[in-house]
Amino acid sequence: MSSNIDRRTFLTTAGSAAAAATLAGCSGSDDGSASDETTGTETTDGNEAESDLSGTLVYARGDHPQNYDPQQTTSGEVAKVSNQIYDQLVGFTPGSGGQLRDGLATEYSLEGTTATLTLREDVTFHNGESFTAADVRATIRRFTDNEYEHYLGDENRSGYGPFTFGNWVDTVEATGEYEVTIELTQQYAPFLRNLAMFAAAILSKSQIESLDNQVQLGTEPQGTGAFEFSELDNSNQRVLLSANADYWGNGPNVEQVVFKTIGQNSTRVQDVINGSSHITDNLDSQSSQQLENAGSARLASKNGINVGYMAMNQSRREEFRSRKVRRAISYAVNTQAIVDSIYQGFATTADQPLPPDVLGHNEDLEPYPTDKDEARRLLNEAGYGDGFEFELATFSNPRGYNPSPVETANQVRSDLEEIGLTVEINQFSTFSSYLSYTDQGRHDACFLGWYTDNADPDNFMYVLLDPKVPLDAVPDGQNWVSFDTEGYSPLNVAGWAHSEYMSLVREAQRSYDDATREELYVEANRIAREEAPWVFIDYAQTLRGVNEAVVSDSYTVTSVGGPFLNTVELQ
């Protein structure tokens, strides 16, 4: 289908898509880091015959970003769209919990500090250009190389730049038209898994070099994916994608995909039940129960690989630099009540940064019990027995790890009032503006969470709680650094910089032995739990609402990557 669709057609289709629709690789290594050499094997993912495309798939979500450049954001709302437009060198098997499979690379290996990739031939970008090794090289350089003419820029690239490629890639060379060799600065166990993350999407070198301003790419993305970007309708908070008839992989099976925004959980779920949308996510307990009681839609779930937390910004607030204060707050906040009463059992209480079922999760740890007396005792010992006031920033739209953020904020405020602390809730209307605020470190405390990008422990332990600065940049006897420290990663919204913790997770990055990595992460989790830079709130299930018009086995709920809409069929 042509991507040149007029605005009236788009708005009509988006408003009544389900009603108008005709309801109609062999994987690589499972963990990519178990030995000194990890190798993917070739597979054939192409269509055997051209699919009969039928209808418009409507995906309802809670927020509408306006920039769909995968190198400029950390937002999962962007990833939902960009993962339909772009492909990565390596992919995740849908529903597998992180098993790798071939993507734009048909063979891939990591030995020592050298990654070698053989690329898929006969793949074209949506702009008509052929995909080659030159595109891989340009993509990585745009994200990481400040000497590259088309570098995105420190102020524009997202926090994914350093931990996906920037801190690890020394050189990237096109050693043939379909061969790429990447030399790393050190052994780095998660590297092949990083290649499958949404931020590692492969861009078109031709498009990169044609732009006057690299920021423009986010409003006209051109990838190799199953769907082409057709229209960004910001006034109505909708995005329209059209089927890529030349897609190299499986699908697509629908003519169009529409992403539309409905902020209210109950309204968004009712839209799925009514058949005006086909799939939705970020559900709270009430909307989940709506689906369970519906005859025309179902609640699909899977064990999640995520964590929800409240970070205390030690860079901004002196009070939070005291471990006793942070632990007092952790004892005071009733996370069990949040999980049971607000999330109503669709999550479990958290006790460490790393969720269960991931290598290095410390089974010996338990959540902080609610103990207001202990909290008051610790505050007194820290010199804050008279209390203090701080801001708690929160988003409004539901997230899987925090499906009811305003209710959760009110619970925290009530709990902390009981120990003499005053909490001012600062509520943001859009998630994009919220992330901008926390990235700048302007919050006192904030709610955030993380869905795994690659199912590797590094993706939680290093990405979220290592400041990414040299160890000698952390003053002796100090467990925090300022957000303006050179090289600091704003993904660490707590400002926490614990030297022993940092040493452990950095050592774990360099090891290709799973037993060694597990031991290091178990200890790092113990330290994080004791030091309490966060209030560890929950590990949430992955929940989706799915209308009966979706062929049941064509859509797979997954906790890593996706959503995999290329395979979805409508009845």
Q: Read off the pTM.
A: 0.82
What value does the mean pLDDT take over residues 444-469? 95
Residue 287 lies in a domain: no
What value does the mean pLDDT take over residues 133-154? 95
CATH number of the domain that 349 lies in? Answer: 3.10.105.10
Query: How many domains, in total, are found in the chain?
Result: 2
Neighbour tally for 191: CB within 10 Å: 26
Same domain for 238 and 332:
no
Same domain for 327 and 278:
no
| 249 within 8 A of 45, measured Cβ to Cβ | yes
Same domain for 406 and 506:
yes
Query: Quick one: tokens of 553?
Result: 């086995």
Closest CA to 445 of 424, 466, 468, 414: 424
Residue 21 lies in a domain: no
Query: Quick one: tokens of 138?
Result: 């340009």
**pLDDT for res 265:** 85
Closest CA to 554 of 530, 534, 537, 571: 571
The confidence band for 52, taking pLDDT boundaries of 50, 70 and 90, is low
Instruction: Say yes or no to pLDDT of 5 above 70.
Output: no
523-532: b (≥16 Cβ within 10 Å) or e: bbbbbbbebb
Same domain for 229 and 351:
no
Closest CA to 110 of 30, 40, 26, 212: 40
DSSP 336-392: HHIIIIISTTSEEE--SSSPTTSTT--TT--PPPP-HHHHHHHHHHHT-TT--EEEE
Instruction: List, for residues 209-236, the tens digit of each pLDDT value.
Output: 999 888 889 999 999 999 999 999 999 9
What value does the mean pLDDT take over residues 248-259? 97
Same domain for 549 and 531:
no
Residue 288 lies in a domain: no
Angle of helix 514-531 relative to helix 499-510, nearest 10 degrees? 160
Burial of 380 by CB count in 10 Å (0-12 exposed, 13-18 middle, 19+ buried)? middle
Residue 444 lies in a domain: yes
Beta strand 422-428 with 389-395 is: parallel
What value does the mean pLDDT take over residues 363-383? 98
Same domain for 257 and 391:
no
Residue 300 lies in a domain: no
Q: Which domain holds residue 451?
A: 306-540
Neighbour tally for 37: CB within 10 Å: 12
Higher pLDDT, 344 or 383: 383
- State how far the Cα of 131 lies from the Cα of 246, in Å rounded to an integer: 13
**pLDDT for res 50:** 41
Higher pLDDT, 317 or 559: 317
Strand, helix or coil at 184?
Answer: strand
| 269 within 8 A of 285, measured Cβ to Cβ | no
- State how far the Cα of 568 lies from the Cα of 396, in Å rounded to an integer: 30
What value does the mean pLDDT take over residues 493-513? 97
Instruction: List, for residues 308-324, the tens digit of each pLDDT value.
Output: 999 999 999 999 999 99
The set of residues, in sequence order, having a beta carbon less than 8 Å from that of 313 and lying 6+ positions away, is 320, 441, 443, 444, 445, 446, 493, 494, 495
Residue 291 lies in a domain: no
Instruction: List, for residues 504-517, the tens digit of each pLDDT value.
Output: 999 999 999 999 99
Residue 560 lies in a domain: no
Instruction: List, for residues 337-347, the tens digit of each pLDDT value.
Output: 999 999 887 89
Same domain for 325 and 261:
no
Amino acid at 559: S
The confidence band for 47, taking pLDDT boundaries of 50, 70 and 90, is very low
**pLDDT for res 40:** 37
Instruction: Say yes or no to pLDDT of 397 above 70.
Output: yes
What value does the mean pLDDT take over residues 21-50? 33
Query: Which region, left, alpha or beta, applies to residue 561 given φ > 0 means left and ψ of -120 to 50 means alpha?
Result: left
Residue 565 lies in a domain: no
Instruction: Say yes or no to pLDDT of 32 above 70.
Output: no
Instruction: List, for residues 274-309, the tens digit of each pLDDT value.
Output: 999 999 998 877 888 899 899 999 999 988 999 999
Same domain for 220 and 328:
no
Same domain for 550 and 530:
no
Same domain for 373 and 248:
no
Instruction: List, for residues 258-279, the tens digit of each pLDDT value.
Output: 999 998 888 999 999 999 999 9
Same domain for 548 and 525:
no
Burial of 238 by CB count in 10 Å (0-12 exposed, 13-18 middle, 19+ buried)? buried
CATH number of the domain that 129 lies in? Answer: 3.40.190.10
Instruction: Say yes or no to pLDDT of 458 above 70.
Output: yes
Enclosing H/E stretch for 19: helix 17-20
Q: How many Cα neighbours within 13 Å face the side chain of 485?
A: 22
Average model confidence (pLDDT) for the chain? 90
Same domain for 191 and 320:
no
What value does the mean pLDDT take over residues 16-22? 36
